[in-house]
Amino acid sequence: MYIDTEKKIMKTVSFSVVLVLLMLVVNAVPSIAQDDLTFADPSVEYSFNIPDPKWKMTIKPSATSPNVEYVYGDRSDGHLEIRKVTVSKDTILSDVLADEEKKLQFRQGFVAGREENFTGKLRGAVYNFEYVARGRNMSGRFYFLKANDSTVYILRFTGGKDTLRAIRNQTDSIARTFAVKS
């Protein structure tokens, strides 16, 4: 009788160990699948991580145009444009931001937001705003990242107000990992 009880205990322990190992493997698969993808292209001098495979490139850079664009599922949910701006050495970042705001103020229902400091691989500022497009409440979150004294990269995220707010951690992640190649 003692041997039968010992066998039952061993079977239970073995089953428990297998079950725990199976749970660890199942939980590890999503984290592996969520690893960031990296954007890098020989036509541009920058790179960044894409935190979700739902981001799809819609405009690829070329030798003639260094512009890159991504869409998060649908363009109205999330859209990213990356632009390089060359400025004079004495230009301060808030002047670049003010120039961009002058262009934005003509959007229907434009409501200016606030400017925040931002730090990632590059330092800069973030500017938030809201507007209306096709009868839908939209928002924008623009990152102004200073690469050097004369170069500013603008990461222009726009999308539905609620959607862009929901993916803010992703927009921040893209901006934080944005780096200029040496």
Q: Residue 29 forms beta bridges with which residues?
A: none
Task: Say what the pLDDT of residue 35 is.
Answer: 58
Q: Are residues 137 and 105 in the same domain?
A: yes
Do both 70 and 85 map to the same domain?
yes
In the prediction, which pLDDT does 10 show? 59
55 plus 103 within the same structural domain: yes
pTM of the model: 0.79
Burial class (CB in 10 A: 0-12, 13-18, 19+), 182: exposed
Regarding whether 29 and 41 lie in a shared domain, the answer is no
Residue written as tokens 């262009």? 103
Do residues 54 and 84 share a domain? yes
How many structural domains compose the chain?
2
* Low-confidence stretches of the chain (pLDDT beneath 50): 17-22, 24-34
Range of the domain at 17: 1-35
The answer on 6 and 92 residing in a single domain is no
Whether 60 and 8 share a structural domain = no
pLDDT of residue 63: 85
